[in-house]
A and B are shown apart, each in its own frame.
Chain A
Amino acid sequence: MIFAALAVPTPEVVWWGLIPVIVLSGSALLMLTAASLPWRMPAWLASTWTVAAGIAVVVAVFPMWARIQNDGPLAFLGSAVAVDGSTLFVTATLAVAVVATALLGRAYLEREDLPGVEFYVLLLLSAAGGVVMVSANDLIVLFLGLEVLSIAVYVLAAMHLRRVESQEAAIKYFVLGAFSSAFLLYGIALVYGATGSTSLVRINAHLASTVLVQDAMLLTGFALVLVGFGFKVAAVPFHAWTPDVYQGAPTPVVAWMAAGVKAAAFTALLRTFVLSFGAYSGDWRPAVAVMAGVTVVGGATVAVVQTDVKRMLAYSSIAHGGFILTGVQAADDRGTSAVLVYLGVYTLLAVGSFAVLSAMGGVGDTGHRLDDYRGLARRQPLLAAAFTVLLLGQAGIPFTGGFVAKLGVIAAAVNVGSYAVAAAAMLGAAIAAFVYLRLLVAMYLDDDQAADTHPVVVPVGARMVIGLAAAGVLFVGLVPGPLVDLSRDAIPVLVGG
């Protein structure tokens, strides 16, 4: 009886809503424990374990999706966490990226003769952080998810112990990542000061019902949060770290950075700005619109002059970020669903393209000059064909998924009257097409003049990733209906109190 008096009211927990986080972080911790026992965990076990965890999350998302669509989205844990369509959509995307990265990582670690278990553990933890981020209903929870995601990736970038470039990439990523986290957090603190809450729902209610006389603190908070997100999603002018980090980090890790980290960060950006700060969209939309235009054109233009293919794709990923921002700045349901389509398609494009780069890198991860790609179509016709599909997808050629994605965000921008941004996006797409064309010309038309070219070995894991990604890009391009419908059902909503 005495205990009954001491009972502390605890927040309600809907356990099934946490399944993805529990599976990802649980399997990471289990693997870490198993690896610390006095035996040598075989590499195949760690990679199979990670792939299984990723697939388990994708499988678990289906019944959760059905339940959310029937009963509506739900918030729990004192409204700090919410599960809605966008959460599940991006969770599945992240899980696919985990599976692909684990398959690439297995071959990479073997080729570079690196010890392996930590790679998979960090990957799973990073994905768990991403899932927390996309289910956050409170800015502090969002920040925690972002940090769990980022800190794991800082270590992953330094994974190649014998390459100074890898460590240089990691320290650059770390310093700028920590810098941007501080900006984001300061922004959160100022928004908290202006609205009296860190809950996305309560901030939204406060902004909708109150007219602030002094809104300097709030607007400064918005600006700092936007800068923080700008660094994370590599939007111009906060993109400077991206090419260096992509060039130096192990290629499978780059695939995860481009696919996973971006998907999580953009979804968090959508939830924060479009949903929670929606009442003030007149104040932040112009800033995001300028960022979107500059990012598309800037990223595509600088990509043209690169001679290192990894840097080229780094700048092209910046341009893709600009396209996604074009959808974000529309700040309506149409823009949001276009962003989700783009994130899904870009995940396929990124993991597929960086899988090709990972195989082309060869021992030491060095074969990334444009010269290494000359005459590839003669040496490796299948690899060149798959890479062609992926590059055409990135360029947004019709009948590929990239076209559907780009059309969606540009149409959303036109729909809300942002003609300048839409025009900038189209200009950027045209410039970017030249980048991909340059690679295609090198592969198909140029002579195989590099005499010292090492033979390209495409491991089984990379073959699966490249093949499935290329097939997925073609499928979405030819039959866009299912993905577009899914994204309409996945539009995020605010729930809870």
Chain B
Amino acid sequence: MTVTTTWYLVLAAVLFSTGSVGLLVRRNPLVMVMCVELMLNAVNLTFVSVGTHLGDLGGQLAVFFVLVVAAAEVVVGLALIVAIMRRRPGATADDLSLLGG
């Protein structure tokens, strides 16, 4: 049995869905950031496998851009979480409910 590109794409789709469902159901802000990372890495896997399949370097190049963006995003996200936790230790997403109509 050979592992074709489709397998990688399916794995990426599963990882992406895991990340997006996790983001919606988990309440710990840190875990939510991890879920976003999982989604972005699923995209990376898609880029790499499609790029390899097409014999095109562009897909693998895109991964580097995504990695840098993901790193920058996590920096900001963790800083925001730290800023909130300092004022309200142990806050979960459900506790952040000051805003509303």
Contacts and interface: CB of A to CB of B under 8 A. Distances in A.
Given A189-B46, A243-B101, A308-B101, A154 B84 contact: no
Interface of A: 140, 143-144, 147, 151, 154-155, 158, 161, 164-165, 167-172, 174-175, 178-179, 181-183, 185-186, 189-190, 192-193, 196-198, 243-244, 247-248, 305-308, 311
Interface in B43-97: 43, 46-47, 50, 53-54, 56, 58-59, 62, 65-66, 69, 72-73, 76-77, 79-81, 83-84, 87-88, 93, 96
23 contacts: A140-B62, A140-B65, A144-B69, A147-B69, A147-B72, A158-B83, A165-B99, A167-B83, A171-B77, A174-B76, A175-B23, A182-B20, A189-B47, A189-B62, A192-B59, A192-B62, A193-B50, A196-B56, A197-B56, A198-B62, A244-B99, A305-B101, A306-B101
Contacts, number: 115
A193 B46 CA distance: 8
A244 B97 CA distance: 9
A186 B43 contact: yes
A182 B40 CA distance: 6
Q: Which 9 A-B pairs have the closest CB atoms?
A: A182-B39, A193-B50, A189-B46, A244-B99, A178-B36, A168-B96, A147-B69, A185-B43, A186-B43
Nearest to A186: B43
Given A182-B36, A197-B58, A167 B80 contact: yes
B43 A151 contact: no
B34 to A, nearest CB: 11
Given A186-B16, A248-B99, 15 more contacts: A143-B69, A165-B99, A171-B80, A172-B99, A175-B29, A178-B77, A182-B36, A182-B39, A186-B43, A186-B46, A189-B47, A189-B59, A189-B62, A190-B46, A197-B56
Interface of B: 9, 16, 19-20, 23, 29, 32-33, 36, 39-40, 42-43, 46-47, 50, 53-54, 56, 58-59, 62, 65-66, 69, 72-73, 76-77, 79-81, 83-84, 87-88, 93, 96, 98-101
Nearest to A190: B46
A168 B84 contact: yes
Contacts of A186: 16, 39, 42-43, 46
